[in-house]
Amino acid sequence: MAGHVLAVKDVFDTSDQPTSYGSPIYRDHRPAADAAVVAMLRSAGAVCLGKAVTAELACYHPGPTTNPHRATHTPGGSSMGSAAAVAAGMATIALGTQTGGSVIRPASFCGVYGFKPTFGTVTVAGMKPVAPSLDTVGWFATSAADVADVLGVVTGRAAPSVNVRPPTIALARTAQWEQADDDSRGAVMEAARRATAAGARVIDVQLPLLVDGLADRHPKLMAYEAARSLAWEYETHRDELSPDLQEMLSTGWAVPVDEIDAIRADAVAARAHAAEAFGDADVILTLGVAGEAPATLATTGDPRFARLWTLLGTPAVSVPGLSGSTGMPVGVQLVGRVGDDVRLLEVAGWLGARLTSSAGSGVTAERS
Amino acid sequence: MAGHVLAVKDVFDTSDQPTSYGSPIYRDHRPAADAAVVAMLRSAGAVCLGKAVTAELACYHPGPTTNPHRATHTPGGSSMGSAAAVAAGMATIALGTQTGGSVIRPASFCGVYGFKPTFGTVTVAGMKPVAPSLDTVGWFATSAADVADVLGVVTGRAAPSVNVRPPTIALARTAQWEQADDDSRGAVMEAARRATAAGARVIDVQLPLLVDGLADRHPKLMAYEAARSLAWEYETHRDELSPDLQEMLSTGWAVPVDEIDAIRADAVAARAHAAEAFGDADVILTLGVAGEAPATLATTGDPRFARLWTLLGTPAVSVPGLSGSTGMPVGVQLVGRVGDDVRLLEVAGWLGARLTSSAGSGVTAERS
């Protein structure tokens, strides 16, 4: 990590810098310790530039960060400052978190790599929880190799191979396919086209019904867990929470636990089904976002395309290089098997090199 | 919760009381917020008595707490103060945590109910992590009904029925059976005898090999995750960690991640096998401890009998009422299916009533 400049989403504790979790409740808060991932990266030589803006308590209410590509557009959320810091060249790596789509979406909107590892494999110590069965530490960088370097530091995993054989890619158009716009669908199809042209085998797959239907059930589980995880804030500082967050937590308190049990049980079953859906493919290629970053700073965009994979606990990465009809970045999402994070990053690096080349048509390569 | 007096293991944050995690590193630490479970219980009417001693950073190095039944004996650990506070009548309920056997063991040694719910179903927000894939919030009380009341507050689960039909109990003598002494094995067999006499159907089961062998692999996973979760303490305050903990963390840093992947994959597979092992039984009855509390304050006793169930994520409860050859309490462990926490507590209450009756023979009922 020597030479790396690190930005830290402000939901990770830092002993030497304020940590406000994107909430006025914590405006003067200074934790006692560094979050474990911060400590590991610093110990490995990274220099901590500072804290990066997060949406309120890692949920939806945006902070002031703008998109480095166009200041009228959201950078996505909730890891908005982290993705923007890397996209703007302020930091070489940046820590984020994903509970719904908080890494994949801002990575796509800002045109950088955004990675969430297999659930449960990177310690959450010192991270402010939202929904512990979904909360995943993730990070941003401008190359898959840098992403993998961070993974090595925090888990001990080996570096991916740089000489990668053309992969087998399962193209999953999922039940949400029609909910994305032409820019996002076009980016996925363009990525498939370029991968094929570069020697990859791309096969269409249909996700099992149980898997495909899970995405829509994620918000209920997140709200149930967030209500309980933010009980102190809700009980003692409710008027300092945004109306949006108050409503989500109120919704979460009203969800019967039987429904939560059913979602959790189906998620366990779906994990086994999803493993089968890979067939002999190395990764699944699918939508990461609805399209380009929306032209607003009032919301952080739609997380729905990342939710399924967060709930399944699979590793996922947003691969940059393509752009949409107005020239803003549009990432594509690659998903790996549980535990197969290194292979996923190998393929992400391989595909990313094809997407940043100038051979684009239909969907254009990103201008930078 | 109105009328309940709550003791809080000092690994949960409290905004109005010091929180030292059992470590001199945090001797002057005062968190900004209450842990979520503390906030929920306070909001429901419990009065927080104060913080309860924890072993160092919820691991093994003991604090000063003694066993209320005999001050020369350990109360167990790491949730030592919590179990002792309830056993001594200082608190009616007490929060603890379990990563190996930190609830089941002190509950057994102190002669109270100790419960850990299904992994991932009670929020860990505001709890100091040790090994996030194992860390489970648990608690202590003098009745199964009080245990269930806490579960209701923090998850929304319904109260167990008070009119319980005699259960079907799977008696699992496990690969560890010979590692326990006569007191502990005798307590399990006495519990089975009394359950049978009261109308329960008790059937012998043998755990599948993959399940039974997991217990011995738990320490490696815990050390790997603890090393990373306590990276800040290890990197910046190593000389304030006990030599025991330094050694565990050093061991954890040396474990290859491939071994961790294999343990995690086997644990996932074992969860499915374990569900089958229940057959049509409501609960598994098994060892919780090696025997009575050891006559020492230098260690907290042997956690090995709880590790398997922590790794599997099943709910488990230590049921009091019996005692060993010197008159100290010996609990028995009941294990439920994942998600079946309420039924487990129904059976725990039913069995507990049989163990505290005076019908004992062989292993005597606890004197109090």
User: Would you list the DSSP string of B332-351?
Assistant: EEEE--TT-HHHHHHHHHHH
A357: confidence class by pLDDT, cuts 50, 70, 90: confident
Q: Does a structural domain hold residue B251?
A: no
**B310: pLDDT strictly greater than 70:** yes
Contacts B123 to A, Cβ<8 Å: 129, 132, 225, 228-229, 231
* Burial class of residue B27 in the structure, from the number of CB atoms within 10 Å of its CB (0-12 exposed, 13-18 middle, 19+ buried): exposed
SS3 call for A319:
strand
Q: Does a structural domain hold residue A280?
A: yes
pLDDT at A131: 98
**B361: pLDDT strictly greater than 50:** no
Q: Return the number of other C-beta atoms located less than 10 Å from residue A187's C-beta.
A: 32
pLDDT at B263: 97
Report CA-CA distances (Å) from A198 to A160, A227, A355, A359. Answer: 19, 47, 11, 11
Q: Does a structural domain hold residue B243?
A: no
Backbone angles phi, psi at B207, to 5 degrees: -75, 145
pLDDT at A261: 97
Q: Does a structural domain hold residue A128?
A: yes
Q: Does a structural domain hold residue B246?
A: no
With an 8 Å Cβ cutoff, are B232 and A129 in contact? no
Minimal-distance CA residue of chain B relative to A119: B133
With an 8 Å Cβ cutoff, are B33 and A233 in contact? yes
With an 8 Å Cβ cutoff, are A156 and B126 in contact? no
Contacts B119 to A, Cβ<8 Å: none
Contacts A226 to B, Cβ<8 Å: none
pLDDT at A163: 81
**Number of independent structural domains in chain B:** 1
Give the CATH number of the domain where residue A135 resides.
3.90.1300.10
pLDDT at B164: 85
Q: A7: part of which helix (H) or strand (E)?
A: strand A5-9
Q: Which of A23, A79, A102, A133 is catalytic?
A: A102
Contacts A157 to B, Cβ<8 Å: 257
pLDDT at B364: 52
Segment B14-62, tens digit of pLDDT: 999 999 999 999 999 999 999 999 999 999 999 999 999 999 999 999 9
Contacts B26 to A, Cβ<8 Å: 32
User: What is the extent of the structural domain holding A57?
Assistant: 5-212+264-355
Q: Which residues contact B167 (CB under 8 A, 6 or more apart)?
A: B195, B200, B201, B281, B282, B283, B346, B347, B350, B351
Q: Record the tokens describing residue A16, joined without a space.
A: 């030497």
- Taking the C-alpha atoms of residue A84 and residue A79, their distance in angstroms, rounded to an integer, is 9
With an 8 Å Cβ cutoff, are B228 and A38 in contact? no
pLDDT at B163: 81
- Taking the C-alpha atoms of residue B183 and residue B189, their distance in angstroms, rounded to an integer, is 10
pLDDT at A102: 98
pLDDT at B162: 82
pLDDT at A367: 40
Q: Which of A20, A23, A51, A78 is catalytic?
A: A78
Mean pLDDT of A287-313: 97
pLDDT at B215: 93
Q: Does a structural domain hold residue B150?
A: yes
Q: Does a structural domain hold residue B259?
A: no
Residue of B26, B154, B265 lying closest to A32 (CB–CB): B26
Active-site residues of B, by number, are 9, 78, 102
Q: In A218-287, which residue ranges form alpha helices assigned H by DSSP?
A: 218-229, 231-236, 243-254, 257-277
- Taking the C-alpha atoms of residue B347 and residue B334, their distance in angstroms, rounded to an integer, is 8
Instruction: Identify the residue among A12, A34, A38, A123 best suited for mutation to test binding to B, counting B beta carbons within 10 A and taking the highest.
Output: A123
With an 8 Å Cβ cutoff, are B154 and A228 in contact? yes
With an 8 Å Cβ cutoff, are A229 and B38 in contact? no
pLDDT at A110: 98
Q: Which residues contact A227 (CB under 8 A, 6 or more apart)?
A: A234, A248, A249, A250, A251, A252, A253
Instruction: Identify the residue among B123, B241, B253, B341 best suited for mutation to test binding to A, counting A beta carbons within 10 A and taking the highest.
Output: B123
Q: Record the tokens describing residue B359, joined without a space.
A: 């019908």
Report CA-CA distances (Å) from A348 to A114, A157, A166, A320, B42. Answer: 10, 16, 11, 9, 48
Q: Does a structural domain hold residue A159?
A: yes
pTM for the complete prediction? Answer: 0.96
Segment B61-88, tens digit of pLDDT: 999 999 999 999 999 999 999 999 999 9
